[in-house]
Chain A
Amino acid sequence: MPVDTAPVEVTGWGRTAPTTAARLVRPRSYEEVADAVLDCAADGARGGIARGLGRAYGDAAQNAGGCVLDMTGLDRVRTIDARAGVVVCDAGVSLHRLMEVLLPLGWFVPVTPGTRYVTVGGAIGADIHGKNHHGSGSFSRHVVSLDLLTSDGEVRTAPSGTDLFDATAGGMGLTGVILSATVRLLPVETSLMSVDTERATDLDDLMARLTATDHRYRYSVAWIDLLARGAAMGRSVLTRGDHAPLDALPARARREPLAFRPGRLPAAPGFVPEGLLGRGSVGLFNALWYHRAPRARRTGEIQKLSTFFHPLDGVPHWNRVYGRGGFVQYQFVVGYGQEEALRRIVGRISGRGCPSFLAVLKRFGDGDPGWLSFPVPGWTLALDIPAGLAGLDGFLDGLDEEVVAAGGRVYLAKDSRLRPDLLAAMYPRLADFRALRAEIDPRGVFTSDLSRRLSL
């Protein structure tokens, strides 16, 4: 088995809190995964955790002193039912790869986050959501069944609706290693998007627009300028859309309506000076971005999939622009009816002047069945902040308290700093999750830095 026996330093996408795994194993078959897991079990306390493409922002896919199973070698698309729109694939297959394979057949992944470079296993483990959550729910809502390798080396099939499935969807890889999944797909006529863009002048305007019209769009998201203060607080750009129907395409594009050719720019340089993304530069970017959007609504603009869903994927290693200190992403949700809490939090963020140029607000639809799944019906805001910002830790702790008081929660796939004692209040089914884990993995073979930090 290809094993990198030298210790390997591992971080999340935010590049904070690096730790070193004693071993990195890259299994290429289910049998090799089973061997690796049994090795982890025999190893003792440090255990193992599966890792995909490393897009979790925090420490979910790192395991200090233990084993990390790089699952990207398990990358076979096993079967595609092109009539019913169902794919069976290995956990290490990326959504990018699925798009390459499925789009020409007229199918699309049911849910995609802001990057295509996540694996199917990671998508289930974090129970990711996308711009279509208000209508389509999270990724695992579209998973029919999954095969899970548990700590005893056995493979268990977990159909959706079972406890094992619900503990695994959003379970951050702690119930076992997902080997493969059966995913229901979304039919599309073209690989292009029809996009409406409009501006909202402030937070109330934005919430009103989203509330009134979100249901008309499959995909909906708002980018907020969190550095704008006073009357402009919460000014934002809404981009919403749907898969473009064939007849909406210009004649040239109709020749190859399902072509998938995402562009790619040069990678971010390996060294970026600290503090490049300060209040000045981000403020300038935000102002330009806001004013670039049309004052009146622009409708039916045809965009590439990659432009609409994954603009940052065009710049490999974009996480480097935050410099050596890395960055934290803060994403929380507060339920409908808690708009006042949302206003307060946005007010605190813009009042403090957090230089965040990636701040997005969207509405979640119904909650998902995963016990530790993040989405609940409500408003979710995500922002990136350089980790080196003075006093940021205490500031985010303060936001956590607002979130908890409003009955909300933060997203574990993005977390790198939550106070452990707030977790149970945020995730009411945590006790069930712990109980199931204790039952199927009594020795705690599946362990990550995240699980140690938060006592998951």
Chain B
Amino acid sequence: MKDAFGTPQSLLVLGGTSEIALATARRLIARRTRTVWLAGRPSPALETAAAGLRALGAEVRTVAFDALDPCAHEEKLGKVFAEGDIDMVLLAFGVLGDQARDEEQPLSAVRIAQTNYTGAVSAGLVCAKALQGQGHGSLVVLSSVAGERARRANFIYGSSKAGLDAFAQGLGDALHGTGVHVMVVRPGFVRSKMTAGLPEAPLATTPEAVATAIETGLRRRSEVVWVPGELRAVMAALRHLPRPLFRRLPV
């Protein structure tokens, strides 16, 4: 169960090697979290991530999960929920892709959409149903500022996050009053292996900062969290910028 401050005792991470997710898990383990499930494609990286969290004192288990195989989601995730209540699900998987290449190769663009959006719709709905049955729990969805307004430099990734963001918001409304809390997290540019080598955007942040914002959001039962918080105002302005102007921005 979550305590009065919204800190979960059990956590399920979808996308178990995500740096943001692992930073969040470390933060929560330092508080109350004792049981962690890391769901992801079986890999040495997943096992390393599990071992890292185990060293902090949590009971960590891994479960094979592939965002691109939605047919298996119900079965794989159902097993996790059958083992006991999950207080928080962190939907953290996603791929950035390579815009130039993806524009050339529609199939690799589709893969991004399938991972970031389709896979999340499937896994999100499976988890939402299980959480609803429990009558409690948080579903935290890692969206991105890129989904707020698609820009030339990464609109394939951005559009997939836009879809995910809209889905998560709608799911949050659908689950209102069921005891399940859906929180959309919109980080800006996060310095991580996903963005390694990319030019850094203004207001760049770190996985640890996102983790802190998630913990605060859980305590406040927030529905949308921007990281850093200033991005909320920045994106509100950018969102309403006329397109001819937006196009010319060096973003």
Contact = CB atoms under 8 A, between A and B. Distances in A.
Interface of A: 7, 9, 14, 16-22, 46, 58-59, 63-66, 325-326, 328, 387-388, 392-394, 416-417, 419-420, 449, 452-453
A124 to B, nearest CB: 24
Interface of B: 1-7, 9, 31-32, 85, 133-136, 177-180, 219-220
Given A20-B135, A66-B135, A419-B32, A9 B5 contact: no
B4 A9 contact: no
A7 B220 contact: no
A59 B3 CA distance: 9
Given A328-B4, A453-B3, A9 B220 contact: no
Contacts of B31: 393-394
A59 B1 contact: yes
Given A46-B135, A452-B85, A14 B4 contact: yes
Contact of B135 (A7, A16, A392, A419): A7
Contact of B136 (A65, A328, A394): A65
B127 to A, nearest CB: 14
A100 to B, nearest CB: 34
A17 B88 CA distance: 13
A65 B4 CA distance: 18
A63 B136 CA distance: 9
Contacts of A22: 135
B59 to A, nearest CB: 13
A393 B135 CA distance: 24
B1 A64 contact: yes
Contacts of A21: 135
B176 to A, nearest CB: 10
A19 B135 contact: yes
A17 B135 contact: no
A19 B219 contact: no
Contacts of B136: 17, 19-20, 64-65, 449
A63 B179 CA distance: 11
Given A9-B179, A22-B135, A65-B133, A325 B1 contact: no
Contacts of A328: 4
B4 A58 contact: yes
A130 to B, nearest CB: 25
Nearest to A416: B4
A197 to B, nearest CB: 34
Contact of A393 (B5, B134, B178): B5
A7 B177 CA distance: 8
Contacts of B9: 420, 453
B175 to A, nearest CB: 10
Given A64-B134, A66-B135, A449 B32 contact: no
Nearest to B180: A20
B134 A17 contact: no
Chain B CB within 10 Å, residue with most, of A59, A325, A393, A417: A393
Chain A CB within 10 Å, residue with most, of B1, B7, B219: B1
Chain A CB within 10 Å, residue with most, of B3, B7, B180, B220: B3
A9 B177 contact: yes
A60 B3 CA distance: 12
Contacts of A419: 32
Contacts of B134: 46, 64-65
B174 to A, nearest CB: 13
Contacts of A20: 135-136, 177-180
A416 B1 CA distance: 10
A7 B4 contact: no
B179 A387 contact: no
A449 B134 CA distance: 11
Nearest to A59: B1
B60 to A, nearest CB: 18
A59 B9 CA distance: 15
Nearest to A450: B1
